[in-house]
Amino acid sequence: MYEVILTSKAEKQLGWLSGNAFARVDQTIRQLANNPRPYGVKKLRDRVHRVRIGNYRIIYSIFDDDRVVLVSKVARRSETTYRGI
């Protein structure tokens, strides 16, 4: 089992989501502890992955040696979603 850690930026972005979107994204983040590479995950860079939940994206890094998943961004899909990754 992996430890899931949210950056302060990701926590703030998660707090901005509405009820239904929040529930779906929160559930997916919790499931990353059991399976950090679920069906539909896309590898963006070395350790950086993204999972899609409707119009929202969860950007996170997997550290297998430490068994940690670091969620760095939760955002609605737009032109700027993947900038700076």
Rounded Cα–Cα distance for residues 9 and 14 (Å): 9
Rounded Cα–Cα distance for residues 54 and 52 (Å): 6
pLDDT tens sequence across 11-33: 999 999 988 999 999 999 999 99
**Helix pair 19-31, 8-15: axis angle to 10 deg:** 140
pLDDT tens sequence across 34-79: 999 999 999 998 999 999 999 999 999 999 999 999 999 999 888 8
Is 65 domain-assigned? yes
- Containing domain of residue 7, as a range? 3-76
Q: What are phi and psi of 29, to 5 degrees?
A: -65, -40
Is 84 domain-assigned? no
Q: What is the CATH number of the domain that holds 56?
A: 3.30.2310.20
Rounded Cα–Cα distance for residues 18 and 46 (Å): 32
Count how many domains the chain has: 1
Collapsed DSSP state (helix, strand, coil) of residue 48: strand
Is 83 domain-assigned? no
Nearest CA-CA partner of 23 in 12, 32, 14, 35:
14
For the entire predicted model, the pTM comes to 0.91
